């Protein structure tokens, strides 16, 4: 089954940018017979820092209406307030998503549910920033009770500590549990916000499909390097089509399916370990510089005992402990060699 596909820029930046991105996306989609179910584009952006680009606002609507008319592709935007819902209606935009930041406040979510109630809206409920299944589930429930045309959910990962590989942590068990609660609702993955950079997107999207997700929302920009926000996670339309075409879309029967899922998870964990080991080596090089500048010895036994403590615990089985000790010994040797 072909997944539901949503693509488009993080934010509308100008008429040229949004029309060019839409034109190129439709061109590559047609070329490869890929369905582009919705075109996404943020009109208002909820940004962490006050001086960063916060979207062009309602100015974007005539451009988005033009895209809907030209390609007959519904456009979806993020809404954060009931006033924004009103503007969407005024300009004929009937697909909206609830962002991760809004999702942490049930009062805001309820006021949005009231604003779309009994209207022909499609509402995509992204997971809230915090990894809280009840909160996400409660948000979904509010829109189901509002009797809108369609409700979908979007997994975009959960706010994570900076030393992670991804921008956000996948916590796969949460979207999978939500899908068990609402099996009839399409569940999409937004690998762009989850990963924070394009290089991880294919892997994460494949895992989502292996977990029976129904679609993907991906950020695309005609010239990502110039994007005013989320530049590192936006793909060009050509990259997007290439990535979608290389996904394995054909579900295989169990137990192959289970194997496929586990292998994709393993591949993903391996690349994360590899990335973290490289980060660790980089920090070792910085430590070497500090030691050299301050005439400190390379070998500091107490420090290494601390490292071992992080990896070893009495709950681990004997085989695992043997492995970890060998692994740490290698790590230690390599770290000493680098510092020398």
**In the complex, which residues of this chain contact ligand PEP (CB under 6 A)?**
10, 42, 78, 99-101, 126, 156, 190, 193
Which residue stretch of 88-96, 208-216, 224-232, 299-307 sits at the interface with Mn ion (rule: CB under 5 A)?
Answer: 224-232
Instruction: Give the nearer residue to ligand PEP in terms of CB position, either 126 or 179.
Output: 126
Instruction: Tell the smallest beta-carbon distance from residue 329 to Mn ion (Å).
Output: 43
Instruction: Give the nearer residue to ligand PEP in terms of CB position, either 185 or 189.
Output: 189
Instruction: Tell the smallest beta-carbon distance from residue 153 to ligand PEP (Å).
Output: 12
Instruction: Give the nearer residue to ligand PEP in terms of CB position, either 198 or 335.
Output: 198
Instruction: Tell the smallest beta-carbon distance from residue 190 to ligand PEP (Å).
Output: 6
Taking the C-alpha atoms of residue 93 and residue 74, their distance in angstroms, rounded to an integer, is 8
Instruction: Tell the smallest beta-carbon distance from residue 321 to ligand PEP (Å).
Output: 40
Which residue stretch of 10-18, 31-39, 178-186, 329-337 sits at the interface with Mn ion (rule: CB under 5 A)?
Answer: 10-18
Within residues 229-248, the interface with Mn ion by CB under 5 A covers 230
Instruction: Give the nearer residue to ligand PEP in terms of CB position, either 13 or 190.
Output: 190
Neighbours of 308 (CB within 10 A): 13
Instruction: Based on the shown chain and the rule CB under 5 A, indicate whether residue 43 belongs to the binding site for Mn ion.
Output: no
By CB atoms closer than 10 A (0-12, 13-18, 19+), residue 337 is exposed
Q: Which two tokens stand for residue 48?
A: 């962490």
Instruction: Give the nearer residue to Mn ion in terms of CB position, either 37 or 230.
Output: 230
Instruction: Tell the smallest beta-carbon distance from residue 229 to Mn ion (Å).
Output: 6
The per-residue b/e assignment along 237-258, b for 16 or more CB within 10 angstroms, e otherwise, is bebbbebbeeeeeeeeeeeeee
Q: Strands 168-169, 158-159: parallel, antiparallel or unpaired by DSSP?
A: antiparallel
Instruction: Tell the smallest beta-carbon distance from residue 200 to ligand PEP (Å).
Output: 16
The residue written with tokens 């500091």 in the block is 300
Taking the C-alpha atoms of residue 243 and residue 264, their distance in angstroms, rounded to an integer, is 16
Sign for the CA dihedral angle at 245, 246, 252, 258 comes to negative
* Region for residue 118 given its phi and psi (left: phi exceeds 0; alpha: psi -120 to 50; beta: otherwise): left
Instruction: Give the nearer residue to Mn ion in terms of CB position, either 10 or 165.
Output: 10
227: nearest Cα among 14, 82, 29, 75: 14
Instruction: Give the nearer residue to ligand PEP in terms of CB position, either 24 or 193.
Output: 193
10: nearest Cα among 231, 244, 160: 231
Quick one: what does residue 13 bind among ligand PEP, Mn ion, none, with the CB cut-off 5 to 8 Å set by partner type? none
Taking the C-alpha atoms of residue 270 and residue 276, their distance in angstroms, rounded to an integer, is 10
| Residue, CB closest to Mn ion | 10
Instruction: Give the nearer residue to ligand PEP in terms of CB position, either 38 or 260.
Output: 38
Instruction: Tell the smallest beta-carbon distance from residue 219 to Mn ion (Å).
Output: 5
| Residue, CB closest to ligand PEP | 99
- Please identify which residue in 4, 5, 7, 10 interacts with Mn ion, judged by CB under 5 A: 10
Taking the C-alpha atoms of residue 281 and residue 268, their distance in angstroms, rounded to an integer, is 20
Quick one: what does residue 237 bind among Mn ion, ligand PEP, none, with the CB cut-off 5 to 8 Å set by partner type? none
Instruction: Tell the smallest beta-carbon distance from residue 227 to ligand PEP (Å).
Output: 12
Q: Residues in the site for Mn ion, rule: CB under 5 A?
A: 10, 230
């Amino acid at each position: 089954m072909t997944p539901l596909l949503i693509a488009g820029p993080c934010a509308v930046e100008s008429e040229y940018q949004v029309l060019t991105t839409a034109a190129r996306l439709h061109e590559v989609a047609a070329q490869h017979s890929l369905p582009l179910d919705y075109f996404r584009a943020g009109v208002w952006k909820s940004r962490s820092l006050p001086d960063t680009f916060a979207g062009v606002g309602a100015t974007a609507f005539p451009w988005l209406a033009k895209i809907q008319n030209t390609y007959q592709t519904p456009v979806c935007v993020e809404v954060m307030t009931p006033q924004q819902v009103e503007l969407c209606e005024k300009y004929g935009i009937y697909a909206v998503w609830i962002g991760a930041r809004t999702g942490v406040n049930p009062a805001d979510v309820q006021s949005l549910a009231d604003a779309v109630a009994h209207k022909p809206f499609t509402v995509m409920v992204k997971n809230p920033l915090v990894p809280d299944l009840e909160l996400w589930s409660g948000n979904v429930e509010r829109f189901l009770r509002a009797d809108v045309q369609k409700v979908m959910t979007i997994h975009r990962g959960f706010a994570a500590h900076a030393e992670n590989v991804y921008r956000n942590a996948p916590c796969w068990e949460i979207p999978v549990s939500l899908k068990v609660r609402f099996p009839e609702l399409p569940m999409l993955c937004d690998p762009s916000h989850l990963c924070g950079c394009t290089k991880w997107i294919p892997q994460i999207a494949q895992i989502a499909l292996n977990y029976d997700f129904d679609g993907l929302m991906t950020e695309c920009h005609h010239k990502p390097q110039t994007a005013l926000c989320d530049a590192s996670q936006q793909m060009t339309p050509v990259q997007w089509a290439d990535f979608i075409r290389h996904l394995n879309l054909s579900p295989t029967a169990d137990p192959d399916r289970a194997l496929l899922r586990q292998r994709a998870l393993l591949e993903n964990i391996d690349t994360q370990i590899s990335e973290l080991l490289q980060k660790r080596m980089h920090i070792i090089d910085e430590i070497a510089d500090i030691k050299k500048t301050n005439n400190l010895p390379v070998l500091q036994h107490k420090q290494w005992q601390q490292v071992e403590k992080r990896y070893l615990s009495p709950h681990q089985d004997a085989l695992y402990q043997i492995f970890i000790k060998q692994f740490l010994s290698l790590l230690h040797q390599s770290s000493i060699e680098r510092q020398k």
